[in-house]
Amino acid sequence: MMTLTASTLAALLLLAPVASSVSVAENFLETLRTPRPFHARSSPPRNRTCVAESHNDLKTDDAKNILQAIQDCNNGGHIIFARKHTYTVTSPLNLTGLNAVDIDIQGKISFPSDNLTYWQANAFDLQYQNATSFFILGGSDIHVYGAGEVQGNGQAWWDEYANNKKLKRPVLFAIVGLRGGSVSSIKQRNSPFWHNIVANSSDVTYSGLDLFSTSNNGNFEKNTDGWDIYRSERITIENSTITNGDDCVSFKPNSTSILVQNLHCNGTHGISVGSLGQYPSRIDYVEDILVRNISMFNSSEGARIKVWPDAYSEKSASLTGGGGRGLVRNVTFDGMYLDNVDYGLTITQCYGQDDEEECFKHPSKLNITDITFRNIRGRTNRVFSPIVGHLVCSSPTTCSGILAENVDLRTINGSNLVTCRNVDRSTLGGLNCTDWSKGYNPA
C-alpha cells in the first residue's frame, strides 16, 4: 500500500484516470468503481482497487501496464481501465489463472491493425477453425463490466482477408477456461473475426453488450460472429444487440445447457447450431439449448442448424471438412420475430457442399433429434421466394422429433412454402411443405 500526503491525494482527485496500478487510497479509489452487475453480487467483495496505467497516446503498447494491474489485483481485486483513456495493445495478453477479480472497463482498449503480420505469428491459437485471439481470459470468478469499449480495428483485417483467405484473424474477446463469471455492459467494435468465444468454460453470463462491426467498403465484415460457444456448459447470453456479418450466436461443438434470450440481431446469419461434423476424427454434440425472445432483421437466416455431410466438402480455402460424427438434441427456438430474412427456418446436413444430391448419397453421421421451432413469425425476402424455410435432412434416419408450433412465416410474394425432405411432416404444425428446393444458404 502507498501512503498518501494531502497534496498527493488532491492530485489523485484531479487526475484519477492516470493513477498508478498499485493499490492506493482505497477509500478514494472505490469511488471510481462501476457498480457491479446483479449477477456478480454473489462473489466475495473485492478488497483492492488497481487503476491500470495508460500512455494514452494511441501508439505505445500498454500491455505491460495492464498485466501489472492484473497481477497487483489478482485474487480479490478490482481493476479499472480509466475513462477518457485509450489502452493500446500491440502484443498478446495472457490473462489466465485469475481468481476473484472484477475488470472494470470505463475507457477504451484498442488493438491497432497496422501490423497484421505480427499477429499471424504471435496471436494465441485457439485450435479451432483457424481462430486466434489477441488475448485470452480465464480462471474463476471473473466479472468484466463497465461502459467502455473494446476496439478491434477490423477494417484492415477484412480488406486483407478479401485477398488472402488463409489470413488468421483474431477473435476480439476470448474467454478460455473460465469457471464462473460474466461480461456485461461493454461495447465491442469492429472485430477482425468472431466478437466473442467462450471455450472450455462453465457458468458464464453475457448481458447488456453492444456489438457492432460493419465494413465501410466492399470488403465485407466476414465471420464476425457475435458469440461462439465451444466445449462449454451453462452459458447465458442475454439482453444484447448486435450488427455484424455472420452468426448472431453460434453453438459450436460440445455446447450444452445454454440459454440465449432477449437479443436484437441485425445483418446476421441467424442463431445457428453449428457448424458441426467438420472433422472426421471428432465427435460433436450440442444439446439442451433454449433460444427465446429474439428479434432478427436483415439477415440470411432466422433459426438454423448446420451440419457437414459424410463427404469431403470445401466451403472456402480456409474451411473444409466433413465426415464427423455426433448429435444435436433438445434444441428449442421459442419466440422469434423475423423481418427481411432469406430463410426463417433451416436444417441442413449438407453444409460446405454445393451439390445437395451428393449429401443424399453420403448421409451425415451426425444425428439431429428433438428440435422445436415455436412461436416464430415474420417476413422473408425475395432471395428464396416463395420458399420461407429449408428443413432438409440427408436421410430419413438422421433426423427425428422435428416439431413446429405456431410458426407463421410469409414471403413478400408467393405461397409461403417450406422445403421438407427426410423429415416427418405430420409434426410440422401445418407448414406448407414441398419437395421443391432452392438450396440452402451457404453462408
CATH of the domain at 424: 2.160.20.10
**Beta-carbon neighbour count of residue 167 at 10 Å?**
18
Catalytic-role residue among 102, 141, 225, 246: 246
191 located within any domain: yes
pLDDT tens column, 14-39: 444 444 444 455 677 888 999 988 88
Same domain? For 201 and 303 the reply is no
Provide the sign of the torsion angle of the four alpha carbons 290, 234, 443, 278, taken in this order: negative
Catalytic residue, from 143, 195, 269, 362: name it: 269
Question: What pLDDT sits at residue 281?
Answer: 86
Residue with cell string 427456418: 345
Active site includes 362? Answer: no
- The model's pTM is 0.93
User: Is 246 in the active site?
Assistant: yes
Q: Is residue 257 part of a domain?
A: no
Average pLDDT over residues 346-369: 93
337-356: pLDDT as tens digits:
999 999 999 999 999 888 88
- In this structure, the answer to whether residues 240 and 318 fall within a common structural domain is no
One domain for residues 77 and 197 = yes
Say whether pLDDT at 125 is over 70.
yes
- Is residue 291 assigned to a domain? no
Look at residue 267 and tell me if it is in a domain: no
42 located within any domain = yes
Of 246, 262, 288, which residue sits at a domain end? 246
C-alpha torsion sign, points 119, 120, 124, 126: positive
Q: Are 329 and 341 in contact (CB under 8 A)?
A: no
In the chain, the number of structural domains is 2
pLDDT at 166 over 50: yes
Give 205's pLDDT tier (boundaries 50, 70, 90).
very high
Whether 222 is covered by a domain: the verdict is: yes
Domain that residue 323 falls in: 299-443
CB atoms within 10 A of CB 423: 25
> Is the residue at 253 inside a domain?
no
Is residue 111 in some structural domain? Answer: yes
For residues 325 and 234, membership in a common domain is answered with: no
Residues 412 and 345 placed together within one structural domain of the fold: yes
Cβ distance 388 to 436 under 8 Å?
Answer: no
